[in-house]
Structure 1
Amino acid sequence: MLQRLVLCLALIFILAETAFNLYTEFSLQHSAKTVQFDSVAKPSFTIVLIPLDSRPPCIQFVEKLAALANISILTPPLELLDNYQTPAKIVELRTWLRQALQGANAAIISTDMLIHGGLIASRSSRGTQKDIADTLTLLEECHQANPSVELYVFNIIPRLLTADSNANAPYQLDMQKYSVLKDKVLTFENPNDIAELKLLEKSIPIDVIDNYLKRNQKSAEVSIELIKMTEKGIISGLIIGQDDCQPFGLPNIIKRQLEYFVDKHSGRIVTKLTNHKPQIFVQYSDADTAKIIMPYMPHSVAKTVEEKIGIIGGKQTFDRDKADFILFVQAIDLTAVIHYYPCS
């Protein structure tokens, strides 16, 4: 029962990030205490949460939704977390995590928070090799000290764009083209793409390209170590997500390489958290929604839904009557909105 609830909550945690721009009325105040429930019933489980960052979808959405399942979410004090471009206090966060796990049933942990200090900090790869080593060691020690507490970890493949900085600003669009072309050349080997890529490489400072490649390589190496820890049973569940991206780009190459690594070296690492495989009927807001490729996404809405259903071990059914529940999906095509409601 616990495993099923934690897995569903991990999915909620990821989906909530996508919903952030549609949600505008949540209070930005946050308490370090666990969620207070309206019900007099004592919370069934306690889950420690190290969020991706301090925004409402990463904390408050999870707290509110967990309350519906009578789950208590324990989050770090706000003063330890990031504040937009100010990174979290990662050393203090690691200490807090060690203490918080005592008496908890499970944990959902962002490695980007523990290594870099949050999502924005991860885009400039603020974490050092020591931060990476300390975080991986921390996860192993937390498992050894609390073997009954299941650790659900997620790591993020960096976004397509370079980090926002004065040094990168003049080359950000060229680096976006560079990243897209790297993927296209690897995929199609089109001579025109190869020629354009060579010209771009000559026009961009070598240190800008090197920093971009090193950022992605560092993240990939962390993911590989986490995969190994999952295989050893130190981590109960691992999700490797993607920051802002497009259908082509260097992050997509990294994703394919990680998939290959899992297949070749570890078999298919899939943690069977429950024997129950929920049947899910997907209802889109209209017929075209499934085909839309949303901004900052590498593929269609339908593919995104398929991946998220896979996270919880679910199976999509096309028979509404056989479904355990219906997943309603609405995605707005902004180009259509602009067409019907042109700016004056």
Structure 2
Amino acid sequence: MKKFFAFIMILMMTVSIVSIDTSYKDSMKYVSKDKIVFIPLDTRPVSLQNVEILAKAGGKELLVPPMDALDDYKKKSNQDMIYDWLKGSVERPDVSAIIISTNQFISGGLIGSRNYVNDINYKESLERLKEIIGLSGDKRLFLISIMPQVSPVLYQQDTIYVQNSANIGYYNQIKKAISENDTKTLKRLKANIPSYLFNYIAVIASEVIINEQIASNLKPNVTFTIGLDDTTMKSMLKYSYDDLKTAIKGYKNVYMLHGADEISMMTVAKILNEENGLKPSYKIVYEESGDENSYLPFEGGTVKEITEEKIGYIGGVVSQDAKNIIYIHMHKNYKTGIKNVVSKYKISGQNFGVADVAKTNGGDKDLVEEILKDKLIKLIDAYSGWNTPSNTIGTVVSELSIKSYIGTTKDKKDFEDMQKYYYAFTFIRYADDYIYQSIVRDAMQNWAKSNGLNPDKLTNKSEADAVLREKMKPYLDTLMSIYDDCGVKIKGADVEYPWSRMFEIKVAPILE
């Protein structure tokens, strides 16, 4: 019996020692700080999977909450689970930085933030956020807030709203009532305004209040980035964005950017540059004279303004003698040819990226087919034709920054691993932006409608996934063959719809 108790005591001591040695709360100096705690904007691939892959290309690993804690299309996230998970993650000694989407943390995701009901208890969420910031110590912490596009279609939030002085009055009244927690006035306004208009104005007003409160109380180690989602120059959303800009003028460590989906990728690039003392340089090449002053669809700024602010955000500089060239493709019928453009501008040692903004929600077929036909995969180091111009330009800025960082890597194995993930990311962009968005998406929507299905509310996603794989396969096989010819091996690629809608797909490359 004595021997048994002695054994139990030794076992308990051993377990205790193991627990201490592996605790995230210890102060081990030798732990490599290669991890980033990450609360995504939402669970779409562009906000989560693709950010993870680009982070791996930069030698970083993202720590993400369990998927059942995060949002799923119109189902908002479990904010209690995310809060508890963060409390146990931000103190880890192997974490070098933290990225938190306030839309996910406060409202339950990007779609959740489009309903004012999900912002009602924002004060409690802000207190929780302060606690997380305190627990993070002196680690670099990045808060990202997206001011969301609320109306179902963009024209509903255009001139008809902002030029109506009554709507400006409603905005000011609702904003004041929210800030003062005046439920009586809110109830009266809600009864007197059409429900869609009340929700629209209440959302953008509450976002202004929340963001102003966050910006006014930042610690030195915290950076706050506010993105402007799909908009126009004359929308109420743009009006509220300008209102916020005035309110927070002069606050330190606050950035206001156009765009949404790409900002997490840009923040990963920013972290790598800050941690390594890098300032990647960019030369911006516009296709035609005057392009830089253009206002493109879904944007609240010029092409030049959007491009330069994104380069500045990641810590880069604009220079004519630059390591990175970002080529802004705006004209579908541009006759010069991408091969000639690359030959004209790219010299040895430079990285060349194409921001394909000739159309929204997809790449220019003629441009990409020329890239693939002439096998320019390795000459064109970065490509994106994703969604809006801001999303596209920000993605390419991020890609080129990561490519520059990979070029500084001395260890051969690390270099090869990072290159592998980088090319997986570029493969996804061609597969999604070109193959799906510009070719297969229309065919899939026609298939859905002919079978009595709503493309935005799929009731049998597994069947839609099977048809998607069938229609994507020949194009993916061709793309993989071209990558192989260029010396990049992609063994396979699976595709599916991440949510029960056909707006975007998830592409999962299978690497060697």
Deviations along 1:82-126, one digit per CA (max 9) or x if unpaired, are 111111112211111111213122210001001111111111234
Counterpart secondary structure, 1:119: coil
The two structures, once aligned, show a CA RMSD in angstroms of 3.8
Matched, 1:282 2:292: no
1-side partners of 2:56 and 2:275: how far apart?
A: 21
2-side partners of 1:321 and 1:174: how far apart?
A: 42
Matched, 1:263 2:285: no
8 A Cα contact 2:159 2:234, kept in partner: no
2-side partners of 1:142 and 1:321: how far apart?
A: 38
1-side partners of 2:322 and 2:119: how far apart?
A: 50
8 A Cα contact 2:157 2:235, kept in partner: no
8 A Cα contact 1:175 1:209, kept in partner: no
1-side partners of 2:253 and 2:67: how far apart?
A: 38
2:224 counterpart residue number: 238
Question: What is the letter of the counterpart of residue 113 of structure 2?
Answer: S
8 A Cα contact 1:47 1:105, kept in partner: yes
TM-score (norm: length of structure 1): 0.67
Deviations along 1:278-307, one digit per CA (max 9) or x if unpaired, are 252234473366455443221233221111
Matched, 1:156 2:146: yes
Question: What is the letter of the counterpart of residue 219 of structure 1?
Answer: E
1:333 counterpart residue number: 358
| Alignment match of 1:73 (pick from 50, 53, 62) | 62
Structure 2 unaligned blocks of 5 or more = 1-30, 169-191, 256-269, 326-348, 368-512
1-side partners of 2:253 and 2:136: how far apart?
A: 26
Question: What is the letter of the counterpart of residue 160 of structure 2?
Answer: Y
2-side partners of 1:217 and 1:292: how far apart?
A: 29
Question: What is the letter of the counterpart of residue 306 of structure 2?
Answer: T
Q: C-alpha displacement at 1:238, in angstroms?
A: 0.7
2:211 counterpart residue number: 223
Given the superposition, is the C-alpha separation of residues 315 and 43 from structure 1 closer, same or farther in structure 2, using an over 3 Å criterion? Answer: same
Matched, 1:100 2:89: yes
8 A Cα contact 2:225 2:254, kept in partner: no
8 A Cα contact 1:282 1:326, kept in partner: no
2-side partners of 1:339 and 1:46: how far apart?
A: 40
Q: C-alpha displacement at 1:146, in angstroms?
A: 2.9
Given the superposition, is the C-alpha separation of residues 46 and 334 from structure 1 closer, same or farther in structure 2, using an over 3 Å criterion? Answer: closer
Given the superposition, is the C-alpha separation of residues 237 and 44 from structure 1 closer, same or farther in structure 2, using an over 3 Å criterion? Answer: same
Deviations along 1:212-239, one digit per CA (max 9) or x if unpaired, are 2221110001110111122x43x61110
Q: C-alpha displacement at 1:55, in angstroms?
A: 0.7
8 A Cα contact 1:283 1:328, kept in partner: no
1-side partners of 2:254 and 2:107: how far apart?
A: 26
Q: C-alpha displacement at 1:313, in angstroms?
A: 3.2
1:318 counterpart residue number: 320
2-side partners of 1:69 and 1:333: how far apart?
A: 29
Q: C-alpha displacement at 1:177, in angstroms?
A: 3.7
Deviations along 1:5-52, one digit per CA (max 9) or x if unpaired, are xxxxxxxxxxxxxxxxxxxxxxxxxxxxxxxxxxxxx96421110000
2-side partners of 1:327 and 1:152: how far apart?
A: 28
Matched, 1:111 2:102: yes
Given the superposition, is the C-alpha separation of residues 107 and 182 from structure 1 closer, same or farther in structure 2, using an over 3 Å criterion? Answer: farther
Counterpart secondary structure, 2:202: helix
2-side partners of 1:337 and 1:67: how far apart?
A: 28
2-side partners of 1:312 and 1:241: how far apart?
A: 14
Question: What is the letter of the counterpart of residue 129 of structure 1?
Answer: I
Q: C-alpha displacement at 1:207, in angstroms?
A: 4.3
2-side partners of 1:62 and 1:282: how far apart?
A: 24
8 A Cα contact 2:146 2:229, kept in partner: yes
State the number of aligned residues: 271
Q: C-alpha displacement at 1:337, in angstroms?
A: 6.7
1:20 counterpart residue number: none
8 A Cα contact 1:156 1:243, kept in partner: yes
8 A Cα contact 2:282 2:316, kept in partner: no
Deviations along 1:239-267, one digit per CA (max 9) or x if unpaired, are 00011111221222222222222325x36
Counterpart secondary structure, 2:315: coil
| Alignment match of 1:305 (pick from 304, 307, 315) | 307
Matched, 1:136 2:138: no
Question: What is the letter of the counterpart of residue 250 of structure 1?
Answer: M
Q: Which of 1 and 2 has greater Rg? A: 2
Question: What is the letter of the counterpart of residue 300 of structure 2?
Answer: P
2-side partners of 1:322 and 1:311: how far apart?
A: 16
| Alignment match of 1:178 (pick from 160, 169, 177) | 160
What does residue range 120-131 of structure 1 map to in structure 2 within 5 Å? Answer: 120-130=111-121
TM-score (norm: length of structure 2): 0.46
1-side partners of 2:249 and 2:126: how far apart?
A: 22
1-side partners of 2:123 and 2:279: how far apart?
A: 37
2:261 counterpart residue number: none
Given the superposition, is the C-alpha separation of residues 142 and 287 from structure 1 closer, same or farther in structure 2, using an over 3 Å criterion? Answer: same
Counterpart secondary structure, 1:134: helix
| Alignment match of 1:60 (pick from 6, 25, 49) | 49
Given the superposition, is the C-alpha separation of residues 260 and 329 from structure 1 closer, same or farther in structure 2, using an over 3 Å criterion? Answer: farther
